Amino acid sequence: MQGFGVHTSMWTMNWDRAGAERAIAGAVHYKMDFIEIALLNAPAVDARHTRELLEKNKLRAVCSLGLPEHAWASVRPDAAIEHLKIAIEKTAEMSAEALSGVIFGGIGERTGVPPTQGEYDNIAKVLDVAAKHAKKHGIQLGVEAVNRYENHLINSAQQAVDMVERVGADNIFVHLDTYHMNIEEKGAANGILIARDHLKYIHLSESDRGTPGYGNIPWDAIYAALAAIGFKGGLAMESFINMPAEVAYGLAVWRPVARDMEEVMGKGLPFLRNKAEQYGLI
């Protein structure tokens, strides 16, 4: 998981054969090092087809997901384990390197009260089993801290670090996101510095999830912190436009946040790449 990548939301959130072909062609066109594949329905993915496309185009991949309600780890740990096992196996079949994201819960999961110790115990149990299963398949697992409006369980870098250290597996890491950090961290660089020993993946997302460089994310502080810790992981641009209803609800994206994909890729991507080069990250 090194270099510059992009989330498949630029082209599709439905990873069928047509969506895979469109997204991979787009990533290659923009000279990405890897693509992040959203596994909204892992059992339906044609893994062989995706693997062949990736190999043909010499493109690496990372997969990501949020757990569906019937498999929320905090309250349905057994179902979460089974869901993650299927996703891990599909990730491996596609020759992707990691499965990351909200692997501990749902996007939109909130109980209305603070997390309980029992919820965290269930999550730790699920991630322990999932990490062991992932290791058998040569897959790394990432725990993404997301903001309080999307999930009530792991919101800050410190909470992600605490869970990763509690599980203690050598194939589990922290995944941060500049959009979420802008809400939850006390200063743009703090989350990166807190997670430095476990941070292997970061989403580069603007404050409105639109075109990077046109919001209020303090990009120089972000990149300076990444350079300061000697970050060698994956830098993935993420912007959400034209979201399907079930995804828009969890993300609370109710309106277009950019004109179109061409604007995000034509303006936001060069901005992020130039910053990465400026700070010696690529």
**Mean pLDDT of all residues belonging to the chain:** 95
Q: Report the number of distinct structural domains present in the chain.
A: 1
Q: Say if residue 74's pLDDT is above 80.
A: yes
Question: Which percentage of the chain shows pLDDT scores above 70?
Answer: 98
Give the domain CATH number at 50.
3.20.20.150
- Let me know: does 143 contact 113? Beta carbons within 8 Å: no
CB 99 within 8 A of CB 133: no
* 89-142 pLDDT tens trace: 999 999 999 999 999 999 989 899 999 999 999 999 999 999 999 999 999 999
Res. 246: pLDDT tops 90:
no
pLDDT of residue 42: 95
Above 80 in pLDDT, residue 159? yes
- Residues taking part in catalysis: 144, 238
Is the pLDDT assigned to residue 258 strictly greater than 90? no
Q: pLDDT digit string (tens) for 175-210?
A: 999 999 999 999 989 999 999 999 999 999 999 999
Query: For residue 140, what pLDDT is reported?
Result: 99
Q: Which residue range is the domain that position 252 belongs to?
A: 3-278
